Structures are given as C-alpha cells and as structure tokens.
Amino acid sequence: MKKILLLGSGELGKELTISLQRFGCYIIACDKYKNAPAMQVSQEYEVFDMLNSNNLKQVIDKHKPDLIVPEIEAIDTESLIRFERKGLKVIPSSRAVSMTMNRDQIRNRAKELGIKTARFGYAETLNELIEMFHNINNKVAIKPVMSSSGKGQSYASTVSEVKKAWTFALNGMRGKKKKVIIEEFINFDYEITLLTILDSEGKIHFCPPIGHVQERGDYQHSWQPAKCEQNIVNKMKIIARKIVKDLNGKGLFGIEFFIKKDEVYFSELSPRPHDTGMVTMFTQNFSEFDLHARAILDFKIPKIELYKKGVSQVILANKNAKGKFLIKGIENAFKDKNIDIRIFGKPETKPYRRMGVILASNLKKAKEALSKIKVVNV
C-alpha cells in the first residue's frame, strides 16, 4: 500500500484521492483550511500553510510518505526540491512542480525550447508594468506569476485598466512572489486543453482535445472532443511532447493552448489533473484522475477511448455569496436522467466559487440543469 501525501485538497484532489484509493493507496490530504473536499474521503488529513517550509517538513517527517503529490500552486517548491534530493518522490518531479507553479519559469523555459507563445514580460512594480504595457503596445492579459484557477487574471487596453489589473493581480496572488506576468492578448479562435500522460517508461499518451470557455480567468464549461483540424492536433502534440519530456517525471499534465487560424500558441501547463478535464468523468473509459493515478503508481496506461461526447458545466456561487450555504434544486436537475452532478463539498462559499459541476451530453442540457440549481446563503 502506497502512502501518499496530497498537497492541496480541492475538488480535483478529492477525485484523485478516490481513484488512488481504488488501488489501495493511503491518503493524507493537506490544505490550509479544515474539511476541504479531499479531506472528506482521505484516511488522514493535515491543516497547515504549505508555503511554510518548517510546517511542510514537520508533516513529511511525521507521515513519511512514499509519494508527495501536489494538487495546488501554493506550496513551498524549494522545499520539495530539497526533499527530492534526499530521496523522497515528488510527482511528477520537483523540477516540474517548481517550474509550472511559477508562470515566469515555465514561460521562460518554453521560450528556450523554441515553443511559440504570446509576447510577454514581467513586472514587480506598477511602473514596470506600465512600461511593459507600452512595450507590447496592444491589449494585454495581466496575472500573478503564482495563482490558481485564473485568480487575479484580467485584461487591459489602457493605462487606467493596467492600474486596476495590477491591484487585482496582487489580490489574487499566491505565494511569496510580488510579481506579475503581462502578455499580449491573442485574439484566438478557441482554447484547447490537451491532457498529456507521461508514464514511468517515458511513453507519452494523449486524451482527445478538450475545448473550454473562461470568464474572470476561470473555466465555465468544457467539452470533449473539441473540433480541431488534424494539423492543429499534430502541432499541439509536438509541443506537448517537447515540454513534458523536458520537465520529466511521471503523471498527467494539463496543457493549455490558444488556437488562431493554423497557429498554435502555448499558454499554460499544470502538472496534475486539470479543471477543464473533469468532463472526462463523463466521456472517457478512464477519467483524467484514473490516468494520473495509474501513471504515478507505475501502472501501464491503458488505451484511452472516448466512448461518448460530453460537456462539463461549473456550478458557481453568486457574486454575493459568503460563508455557510445550501445547494438547492439538485433533485429537479436530475429529472433529466442523462446528466450527472458532482457537488464538491466545500465547507464555505464566496463570490463565484466553484461548488460543483454538471456533466451532460451537450451544453444545452447542462445549462438546463444549471438553471434549476441554486447556491443559497444561510
């Protein structure tokens, strides 16, 4: 039985915990708040600030895990590098975690590898940000170098908007870095997530492309398969192979791309299951969580098959949500027998927080189910 220290216990961590437990794993779920979703299904849990290296060391020394599996960005990655040097296994690797949890590192590495991205730069002060904005001379996206689920991300076309975006990015920032990335806005035709699995033998496997739509920097719905010309799929796979091989390790990577005509731009990478990939719980023979679990446990990756089309639609709290809540209307939504619903089990809510997901055969059915569900303050 593998003992796994899960760093981050949100909805993705909860589904991963369930997949790992099916293979007999023992999970210690960690997060900064009590009763996080994965803690509700794990064997043990720890509540602490994972950016604090001393706290992280104490928990690792206490549990002596076989594997350390990060699920969020707010982790002291320098500590993970030190632990790995001492023989602990970090998934997919400490280098991969460190580089991808800091947008500046992964973006710089993509540039070194010759991978096409939007024009970008970094700023640690508002004046630097305004200077970079003038250099790019176009509409820009501004976001923290470390954040999660699009928090702190906004767009700007004027200096006044840049100033607002700076404040918004600081408020959405995670970690110790007071630093933002500013990148040219690509007026893309569509966005794609390509779930890419690197197994313990170094072989790479792909899931069918996933399309998604974002608002406020956070995904709202995704669908699989996304319609892509084969030459676009081939270009994405070439980039994915190059960057995943460079990062090394084992596990599933969620790689995001902007598509503009026949051009493919690398956007971001998560070294773990991806929020847009929740649709795979409805569409594939093995979900992204099952595939990640198999890869990190050194199991063979089976043939990945798409056995039906599907959509995931998030259930959000409203803009005035705060504290304790009830979710009403699920029984009405289930009058359509062809949908599924996953409530994440978060202990409290806040504005626009993801509280669950609807899985359906198409967006119309998902939206109809969503219209019957309400997150209500109590």
At 302 the pLDDT is: 94
Residues 162 and 233 in one domain: no
Residue 278, in any domain of the structure: yes
- pTM here? 0.94
Q: Dump pLDDT digits (tens) for 283-340.
A: 999 999 999 999 999 999 999 999 999 999 999 998 777 888 999 999 999 998 889 9
Place of tokens 């706290």: 55
Could you confirm whether 256 is annotated as catalytic? yes
- pLDDT recorded at residue 145: 83
Q: Which residues of 291-302 are buried (b: 16+ CB within 10 A; e: fewer)?
A: bbbbbbbeeebe
Q: State the catalytic residue, choosing from 44, 128, 150, 368.
A: 150
At 176 the pLDDT is 65
Choosing from 147, 276, 312, 349, the catalytic residue is 276
Q: Which stretches of the chain drop beneath a pLDDT of 50?
A: none
Q: Per-residue DSSP letters for 318-342?
A: -TT--BSEEEE-HHHHTTSTT-EEE
14 and 64 share one domain: yes
Does any domain span residue 237? Answer: yes
**Can the peptide bond before residue 225 be classed as cis, meaning omega within 30 degrees of 0?**
yes
Last residue of a domain, one of 70, 90, 110: 90
165 with 207, same domain? no
> Is 113 part of a structural domain of the chain?
no
Q: In the structure encoding, which two tokens stand for residue 74, read together?
A: 């707010």
CB 10 within 8 A of CB 3: no
CB 346 within 8 A of CB 353: yes
Q: Which of 42, 98, 148, 196 is catalytic?
A: 148
CB 141 within 8 A of CB 182: yes
pLDDT of residue 137: 80
pLDDT in tens, 148-177: 666 788 899 999 999 999 999 988 776 666
Known catalytic residue: 148? yes
Q: Is residue 110 part of a domain?
A: no
Same domain, 318 and 291: no
CATH number of the structural domain spanning residue 280:
3.30.470.20
Is residue 268 part of the annotated active site? The answer reads yes
- Catalytically annotated residue among 268, 272, 312, 356: 268
Which of 184, 209, 231 is the endpoint of a domain? 184
Q: Which domain range does residue 38 map to?
A: 3-90
Known catalytic residue: 17?
no
The answer to the question of residue 95 being in a domain is: no
Q: Is-catalytic flag, 49?
A: no
